[in-house]
Structure 1
Amino acid sequence: MSESTNNDTKTIAFLVAAEGIEQVELTDPWQAVVDAGHTAVLVSPKSGTVQMFNYLDKADTQKVDKTVADVSADDFDALVLPGGVANPDALRTDKDAVALVKDFMASGKAVAAICHAPWTLVEADVVRGRKLTSWPSLETDIRNAGGEWVDERSVVDGNLITSRKPDDLPAFISALLDAVEHGAAATGQESA
């Protein structure tokens, strides 16, 4: 996973916990960001490596580039929150990770969350009044947090991009790259 030195290079944070990350929800958007000439940075509460999964089976590991304590939303142009059940469940209990997500949402920069990742958005109290999607089991959590849950492949609401599952990765990645290339505000409010 190489980095580009293009003058229009954006730096995208991928925030994950130590384990439980759905591998394709990290690696596919990561590779798309890199292939588009941008820099991807893996951020986690602790240094070392993180354990990805293919559903419930252990998959690859990946080295953490920066810890949550060493970064701020100002360091990046966008944030990606991969899913997996255990990953966002752990992130939502880490106050610094939740604060980083809240800062990203307040900044107006693109925040892209897939599958179970909106749990962290719920914990950060940033879904109120927003239209979003997720893995179906999060519907009640999102509605209880004041969000409007819809069953669609990809939903863009201002700077927030959400998708339901790995099958939705093409739509998720397209919306993410559009927001990175043209700015989160340019993506408007659309559904796919």
Structure 2
Amino acid sequence: MKYLVAGLGNIGIEYELTRHNIGFLVLDRLADEHNTSFEHNRYADKADIKYKGRHIHLIKPTTFMNLSGKALNYWLKELKVPKENLLVIVDEIALPFGNLRMRAKGSSAGHNGLKNIEQLTGGQDYPRLKFGVGDDFPRGRQADYVLSNFTKHEFEELPFKMDKAIEMIFSFCTAGIERTMGQFND
């Protein structure tokens, strides 16, 4: 069975450790744990791992966040992965820092990366793992907040939260989305 796990973020050193790049950070940690590395490929940096008989393709789109759908649409077709075997990891300001919530489908809730994925893959019916980054910003400063680095306290907690996200990814690929949501959702 094949799966495509896409971590959303922005390319460039200036974005590397920002809240908006949590998708990239989770996949980097996952690749490190499985002794693999990302290679630049069409529209994305890509790595592959095997886990309990599953072939899991990891991508970090190089199209910038707002055009993430271009990379996802390309790799879904190129790898012939069914849309229900796609999992998108994305930052979520509506969740407290570190809270994780998997959904089988849903709206973009104003997230430009998710909006673009909806437009280019044909709708909202794809699984996503929302990683809470909190909402500690003044009105009208959302973009500055998600493009800022994590606090010192958040950095200390981040490895534990990312490990839980990785557990959820593997559960999604082996046990399915319903069981994963029931077991892990905060």
TM-score above 0.5: no
Report the TM-score, using the length of structure 1 for normalisation.
Answer: 0.43
More strand by proportion, 1 or 2? 1
More helix by proportion, 1 or 2? 2
